[in-house]
Amino acid sequence: MYPPKFDYYRANSLSEAFSLMQEHGGAKVIAGGHSLIPSLKLRLADPGALIDIGRIGELKGITANGNSTRIGALTTHAIVAAAKNLPQGLTEAAGWIGDPQVRNRGTVGGNIAHADPASDLPTVFTALGATINLTGPGGERSVAAQDFFTGLFETALQEGELVSSIDVPTNGGGSAYAKLFNPASRYAVVGCAAQVKVENGVCSAASVAVGGLTSHATKANAVEAALLGKPLNEATIAAAAAQISQDLGDDVMGDLHASADYRRSIAPIYVAQALTAAASRAG
């Protein structure tokens, strides 16, 4: 299907992008376009104007800073997948997104701003305790990833704001990502990101999130509580993974790819897979 007609503008700086956004009310921002273009073709969006921010250099790149690493919003999935200074759970998730064409054009900022419930990065950023940095005409502000994703394709972004970067802690321990993916799109039917620390043979810290199950990435607090103070052996991990039903409640979604009951039944399998790999990487 052909998209509706639109005017096209290219911004060469953030200030120019904000000026264009104010001038063209209702305009959509585009970078890699792998979320927006399909929406336009399906006539799910008709913004009238597109503002291309893909060439704004200040929004690109990965920079280490002490115990965290900053990822520019226009950094592609392929660059994240190849990075050596990011948690392994994040790099492997980025490497499983779509296909090479998508990974080389799609951007991290566009991915999380779109907030597809079946997307991988919202789940990983939530588990890693990342911070989403937002920029608008009024200045900058930061939102924890856990609070940034608020609903089905909904985020904490306010009118006129853009995602500028993401800060990812790099001292959180071993991390991993596991998912059952749709073979056509590679979106997650069920995805789980986990990060654990081990001290004196037992789990001293744990952070787990799941995606593809509910309207947005969900923190698995019951799973985390079942891990703390225990050795991360097969029995502990299996028992903790079984607690995911408590974190999901009655909000599990179903669609033509998998029913809610099916998603709920297989969720513990992928939680256990992510925890097992994270525990191995934690040493």
Calculate what percentage of the chain has a pLDDT beyond 90.
90
- The whole-number pLDDT of residue 135 equals 97
93 class by beta-carbon count within 10 Å (0-12 exposed, 13-18 middle, 19+ buried): buried
Q: Is residue 1 over pLDDT 80?
A: no
Binned at pLDDT 50, 70 and 90, residue 38 comes out as: confident
pLDDT range class, residue 102, cuts 50, 70, 90: very high
- Per-residue confidence (pLDDT) for residue 149, from 0 to 100: 98
**Whether the predicted pLDDT of 217 surpasses 90:** yes
The two three-digit tokens of residue 184, written as one number: 């056509």
pLDDT digits (tens, 9 = 90+) for 251-273: 899 999 999 999 999 999 999 99
Q: Which two tokens stand for residue 20?
A: 């264009």
Give which of 233, 212, 125 is closest to 169, Cα–Cα.
125
Q: How far apart are CA 67 and CA 59, in angstroms?
A: 21
Residues 122-140: pLDDT tens digits? 999 999 999 999 999 889 9
Residue 223: pLDDT band (50, 70, 90) is: very high
How far, in Å, CA of 275 to CA of 273, rounded?
6
Q: Which domains does the chain have, with CATH numbers?
A: 7-52 (3.30.43.10), 57-169 (3.30.465.10), 174-281 (3.30.390.50)
Q: Identify the H or E element spanning 144.
A: strand 139-144
CA dist 21 and 16 (Å) reads 9
**Segment 142-168 mean pLDDT:** 97
pLDDT of residue 169: 98
DSSP lists the bridge partners of residue 136 as: 139
- Which amino acid, one-letter code, is at 174? G
**Residue indicated by tokens 């959509």:** 28
pLDDT at 75 over 90: yes
**In the prediction, which pLDDT does 3 show?**
86
